[in-house]
Amino acid sequence: MNKPLRRVAVFCGLLVLALLLRDNWLQYVRADELSTHATNKRVQIERYANPRGNIIVDGKPITGSVDSKDEYYKFKRTYVDGPMWAPVTGYASQAYDANQIEKIEDGILTGNDDRLFFDRTLAMFTGEQKKGGDVVTTLSGAAQKAAYEGLGDKTGAVVAIEPKTGKILALASTPSYDPSTFAGYSRKDEKAWVALRDDKRKPMQNRALREIYPPGSVFKVVTAAAALENGNITDINKATDTPEGWKIPLSTIPMKNHAQGCANASLNRALEISCNSVFAKLGDEIGVKKMNEMAEKFGFNAEQFVPVRSAASVFDKAAERGGNAQAAIGQFNTATTPLQMAMVTAAIANDGKLMKPYMIDELRAPNLDVLKKNEPEEMSQPVSPENAQLLQQMMENVVTNGTGGRADVKMDGVKVGGKTGTAQHGENNAKRPYAWFISYAKTDQGSPVAVAVIVEDAAGVSREDISGGGLAAPIARNVMKAVLKGQG
């Protein structure tokens, strides 16, 4: 072979080698990346080529699929009571992808999960239509309805947890949206998406999991837990050495109380009437390090996955004395999700043991075989059983004799513990305050439910009438009653 032909042959060989390398690089190394790429429409088309599996509550589907009459996307997602369940399900849209459970468990719902390989293979031989699996939730339909209807036209959120297991029983957020309005690929769906995206009320924001708020006085139960665990308080009915004008450290400003009779009030009495001075002084005595340790045992400063990701609640571990004293009453930089405060309440109701919260009970194949079963998992033990029972005693006193009376379910054999909170915020506290309420119901069999409620805004309610006991406590009561009646 002459020299020019040899060069051409070598060059062609290099081209073939480059082609083989490129082909293998695309097919094996970048296969997953390309198959899930946002601009790969084949993935979306295949996702909606068959009916999706369903998300199940109380044994019934709260989702469905219908023929969308579209040339490419054959089936469109539908929702039962979409606005009520949107914070749980999320959305699945032909044009705008998916989120929350619809996204996290997309493989199961579409039938593309590796665990459903046998079902897909069998369908190929039998000629049956490919089917997706189901996601069975831990949610209670009655509790969710009570939460959603209780919020009504208010802006806010509710989370209810079963303390002994960590199962989420209700997860409501308002204002909400109907995922079915943009489930398709039409101009109508686009118009609905844009309207929701640009809505200043943020209806697509999951306030139960993704918003953090100043907790105000509901955080005092965490400070009380830290005081008991660290030995700063050994007798909850003993007077504390707290002057009425107790001054914030590193400042000349006295801590303001909104209740009468806070001077030297016992821990029990201070929680009952919500004395800022007692809890701020306790926070200073405990110190920022131990306050932070207690907050983190309850779950602060870490994201939670239920499996939908929840924003991390915040306790400032680097605060100076003045900031720590204010943080101990739920002010300064302290901020929390409603889920986090439900976790705090659930741990106290469960004799100090915090169970990891979750809202997917099991994943099922189309033939109803269980692919995965989630089991209760202990997350931490923030307080001892003895101290948890003291906290219960104080929280029950808040409902019996204090500001939480409207949360009492008034059912035989049921005790209710709770704590109110009215959280100031904005520059110079100029914005309308948030109304909080945390509570649990307890029977002789233990506590079946713990609830956290926040009312961010309530139209038509004057600033002076905004309170946790007035706005949030009745919602918590109705959620607890729904769970208790479901057990009867």
Q: Which residues are catalytic?
A: 217
In degrees and rounded to multiples of 5, residue 174 shows phi and psi of -135, 150
- Report phi then psi at 372, rounded to 5: -155, 135
Length of the chain: 488
> CB under 8 Å to 78, separation ≥6 — which residues?
63, 64, 65, 66, 180, 183
| DSSP 8-state secondary structure symbol assigned to residue 479 | H
- How far, CA to CA in Å, does 430 sit from each of 218, 253, 426? 20, 19, 5
Which SS3 state, helix, strand or coil, does residue 366 take? coil
Residue 204 is classified by DSSP as T
For the beta carbon of residue 121, count every other beta carbon within 10 angstroms.
10
* Separation CA 146–CA 29 (nearest Å): 50
Question: What's the chain's Rg over C-alpha atoms?
Answer: 27
Alpha-carbon dihedral sign for residues 196, 199, 203, 208: positive
Distance separating alpha carbons of residues 441 and 161, to the nearest angstrom:
11
Q: Helices in 66-185 by DSSP H: which ranges?
A: 82-89, 100-104, 106-110, 117-126, 141-151
Beta-ladder partners of 373: 362
Sign of CA dihedral 324, 326, 327, 331: negative
CA end-to-end span of the chain, whole Å? 93
Q: Return the bridge partners of 363, or none.
A: 135, 372
Q: Cβ(331)–Cβ(323) under 8 Å? A: no
Both structure tokens of 131 = 């089917």
> What Cα–Cα distance (Å) separates residue 112 from each residue in 115, 127, 141, 374?
8, 17, 29, 21
Q: How many CB atoms lie within 10 A of CB 389?
A: 14
